[in-house]
Amino acid sequence: MKMTRMEGSPTRVLERLLDRFGVFEVLATSSVTLARCGEADELPMDPQVAEAVLEFGEDLREAAAAAAEWAGRGAPVAPRPGPLP
């Protein structure tokens, strides 16, 4: 996979990173949910790694919100994805 250079304002770059990171958060959320009732070796992600991913997602959202506020846009930041149905 070829890495593409992210162009645009730092705020827009954070927004794109946040969008891309959502996939990892969904995977982490499902891993945490499945860890309550499944075998650890059957999980798509280690539960400790999943918790770290979710914490990083929160930090990323806070950074994106702060950048948007600093830029004067005050744009809402996407909430953390909820558990899968």
| Tokens matching residue 48 | 């400790």
**pTM score > 0.75 for this model?**
no
Tens-place pLDDT, residues 21-54: 888 888 898 888 888 887 777 788 888 899 999 9
Q: How confident is the model at residue 1 (pLDDT cuts 50, 70, 90)?
A: very low
> What count of other Cβ atoms lies within 10 Å of the Cβ of residue 64?
24
What is the rounded CA–CA span in Å between residue 16 and residue 12? Answer: 6
